[in-house]
Structure 1
Amino acid sequence: MKKVNIYFNRWFSVAFHYMNLIRNNEDEIPFTIFATHPDILHMSLQGADFAETEPKLEGIEYVQFCVDFCRRNEIDIFIPRLHMLDIALHAHLFDAIGTKLIVCRNVDLLETIMDKGKFYESVKEKGIMTIPDYHVVSTAEQFKAAYEDLVARGHQVCFKPTDSEGGLGFRIIDNNRSPLQDLFGHVTSMISFEDAYRILSSEPSFPELMVMELLEGFEYSIDCLADEAGNLLAAVPRRKAGGRLRLMEHNVELKEIAAKVAETYKIPYNFNVQMKYNGSIPKLLEVNPRMSGGLHISCLSGINFPYLAVKSALGGEVQPVDFTVDVLASHVEKPLIMKSNGESAVPDTVN
C-alpha cells in the first residue's frame, strides 16, 4: 500500500501527538509525516519523519513556500495552522498540485471566526448559544466605559485581544492586588483597572480588545469532528477537573450546542467550541476552526479525531461516532533525547 504523505506547517508542540495518532490508525494505513517550523528542534517536529526549517514569511510569499514544499515532497494532505487564512484564500494553488487541505475554505467564515468580536455578533444574530456580556474597544476611554458598564451589571471583568490564540493577552481585572506582592509572587494574569487604563492610555488607540464578564463556572472544550461538508460526526465535551485532570463527559447540553454550531457554520474536519458556565448557563468563549491544543486528551475517549479527519479528506467513509463512557484523564511529560554523543535524534531533514 502506497504511503500517504502528510504535512504540518508551524504547529503547537501537541502536534507531536496528532502525528502519532494519525500514524497509529485503526485501518493500518501507512503515513509519512513531514513538518516545518522556524525552530528545527521544536517539539512539534519530533513526531515527524522528515522536518525542515520554515522561513519567516507573510502573505502570499508564505503560501508559495507551502505550495513549493507540498509539490517537492508530493504531499497528499496538508494540515495548516500558521497563516491558515492566507492558505485558505489561495486553496486553488494546492488544488492545482493535488494536495488536499484540511482547512475551512469559506474565507468569510474563517475571518469571522478568527475575530472574536465579529464572531460574537454572528452568534448573537443567529441565537444558537448564549454569549457573555461584552464590549469591543480600541481606545482607553472606550475601555473605561466598557469596564464601568460591566461592573454596573454586577460582573467581574476580564479582557483579551479579539484575534488572539489560547490565553495570549488575557487579563482579569482585580483591584485588590498588592504591587509589591505581585513583584515577588508568581506571574499572574491579574491586573488592576488603574494599571490597565494607564497602559492603554499611553497610545491614542490600540488593537481591538474584547472587554467582557468573567465567567467563573466549569470550563469546557468541545472537540468536534465533521466531514468535508461540515456535517457533525463526533463531539466530546472535555472539562477542566482540577490541576491536570480532564473529564470527557456526556454533557447533553454541550453536545447539542456543538450540533447547532456545526449545522449553522458547516466548519469541516476538526474544530473546537470553548464554553464556560456562569451558574447553570454555558456561555461561549470562542470557536477554533482547527484541532485544539487538548485534542489528544479527548482522543482517550476512543475517537481518533486527527486520523478520522484525514480519512475523510482522503475520501474514506467516516460514520458518526460517540464515546461510550465518561473518561477522567491526565498527562505527564515524556522525556526525549534530542542529541546523544553528537548524534542528532531529530527527524531527517527534507532533501
Structure 2
Amino acid sequence: MKSKKEYRVYFNRWFSVAYHYMNSIRNNEDGLPFKLYGTHPDPRHMALQAADYAATEPVLQGVEYVQWLADFCKEHEIDVFIPRLRMLDIARNIELFDAIGTKVTVCRDVDLLEKISIKDKFYEEVRESGIMEVPAYEVVTDAAGFKQAYERLLAEGHRVCFKPTDSEGGLGFRIVNDQRNALSDLFGYVTNELTFEEAYSILSQADSFPSMMVMELLEGPEYSIDCIADGQGNLHAAIPRRKADGRLRVLEHNEELLAIAQRVAEAYRIPYNFNIQMRYSNGVPKLLEINPRMSGGLHATCLTGINFPYLGVKAALGQPIGELKLEYNMMTSHIELAMRMATFEAGQEREASLAGDRSH
C-alpha cells in the first residue's frame, strides 16, 4: 500500500477491546495514516477512548439501525466499516453501504451468518460436514425436555451444561452440578453452576421457553483460534490461543487446530477476521462456536507479530495481505492501565485533537 491517503475506519457499538484494535490500526506497520471513528450508546464507553471522532448511537433495531449506520458512513465518508452489533442485519442490507462506497468487514453469506447465530443449526451442519467434532447435545423448549436430555447425557457419562441457542459468548451458560454446597457458594464467588433440581424448578415455571441446548460439558483445554483471511475467504494465518491459569494465555503451534482452521476457511469462506472457539474432551477438540468477527482476546494474539485488525482493513480495501512472519509458542497476560477519560455528553460528538489529546 503506497498511497498516503488518510483512510477513515469506523467501529459501531463494540466491546471495550476495540480500544486496542483502533490503536493497532493507527500504529500499523506500513505507516499509513488513519482516522478512527467510533459510536456507542454510552458516550463514556471504553471503546470510544481510542477514537479520533466519537458520537453517541441511538438505540434502534433492524433495518432502521442499519440505515442509521449507512447514513453515518456517508456523512463521514467512511472507507472501512468494522461492525460488531447487528452484523446479520448489516449483511442483509449490504447494498446500502455498497451504494456509498463504504467497504464493510462482514461476511456477505447471509445464510451462513444465520446458521452461525443459531448454534444448534450450525452444530448439525458441522456434524454432517465432518470438518470437526461437536459436543453431544439436545435442543429443548420445556422443562420435560430438559429433564429427558439431562438424563440421557448423564447416562452416557457426560457432565451437563446448557445455553440458549442464540446467545453470544457466555450469556446464559450454566453448568449442572449436583455436588454444589449452597452455603459455601453463598460465601464464595458468584458461580454459573446450579443443581439439576434448581434448574428444573426454574424452567418448570413456564410452559415453554426459548430454545436451549443441553450439552455435554467439555472439560479439557479451551482454545480460541484467531484467523485472518482475505476478502475472498482465503486463510492467511491462524493462531490457537489457549486459556491457562487466571489471565495467562498461551499462543500455540497446534497442528490439529491449525488443520481445523484451514478446513473451516475452505468450507465457509469467511472473509477478514474470524474466530473459532473450541474445547477438548478426552483428547478430542470440539466446537463451541464460530465468531465471524474479531475476538475479544485478539489483542493478545497480535503479540505473535500479526496485526490482525490492520490486516482486516487492508483486505477490505482490496490490498494484498502479503507474506506473514509470526512467532508461536509464547505465554501472554495483561494488566490494567489507569487513564484519564476523554468524555462528552450523550447526544454530542467529540473529535480529538490529533496534536495533543491522545498519547499511546
Relative to the length of structure 1, the TM-score reads 0.96
Gaps of 5+ in 2: 353-360
- The correspondence for 1:2, drawn from 1, 5, 21, is 5
Write out per-residue CA displacement over residues 207-233 of structure 1, whole angstroms, 9 at most, x where no aligned residue. 111111111110000000111111101
Aligned partners of 1:325 and 1:292: how far apart in 2? 18
Write out per-residue CA displacement over residues 271-296 of structure 1, whole angstroms, 9 at most, x where no aligned residue. 00011111211111111111000011
Aligned partners of 1:325 and 1:197: how far apart in 2? 45
- The correspondence for 2:35, drawn from 28, 32, 35, is 32
Supply the AA of the counterpart residue of 2:162.
F
- The correspondence for 2:226, drawn from 205, 223, 226, is 223
Counterpart for residue 77 of structure 1: 80
Matched residue SS, 1:235: strand
1:164 matched to 2:203? The reply is: no
| Superposition map of 1:144-183 within 5 A | 144-183=147-186
Relative to the length of structure 2, the TM-score reads 0.93
Q: Which runs of 4+ in 1 moved over 6 A?
A: none
Counterpart for residue 324 of structure 1: 327
Counterpart for residue 101 of structure 1: 104
| Superposition map of 1:291-310 within 5 A | 291-310=294-313
1:271 matched to 2:242? The reply is: no
Matched residue SS, 1:78: strand
Counterpart for residue 16 of structure 2: 13
Q: 1:47 to 1:339 in 2, by over 3 A?
A: closer
Residue 178 of structure 1: CA displacement? 2.5
Write out per-residue CA displacement over residues 225-255 of structure 1, whole angstroms, 9 at most, x where no aligned residue. 1111111011000001211111101000000
Write out per-residue CA displacement over residues 161-212 of structure 1, whole angstroms, 9 at most, x where no aligned residue. 1111111111110012122332232110101111111111111111111111
Aligned partners of 1:47 and 1:120: how far apart in 2? 37
Q: 1:320 to 1:203 in 2, by over 3 A?
A: farther
34-43 or 319-328: bigger deviation: 319-328
Residue 156 of structure 1: CA displacement? 0.4
RMSD over equivalenced CA pairs, Å:
1.7
1:249 matched to 2:220? The reply is: no
Aligned partners of 1:226 and 1:271: how far apart in 2? 8
Aligned partners of 1:163 and 1:32: how far apart in 2? 34
Gaps of 5+ in 1: none
Aligned partners of 1:214 and 1:195: how far apart in 2? 18
1:114 matched to 2:122? The reply is: no
160-169 or 263-272: bigger deviation: 160-169
Aligned partners of 1:302 and 1:347: how far apart in 2? 34
Residue 320 of structure 1: CA displacement? 5.2
- The correspondence for 1:334, drawn from 330, 333, 337, is 337
Aligned partners of 2:341 and 2:307: how far apart in 1? 28
Counterpart for residue 280 of structure 1: 283
Aligned partners of 2:14 and 2:342: how far apart in 1? 22
Identity, in percent, stands at 62
Residue 347 of structure 1: CA displacement? 8.2
Counterpart for residue 348 of structure 1: 350
Counterpart for residue 357 of structure 2: none
Matched residue SS, 1:220: strand
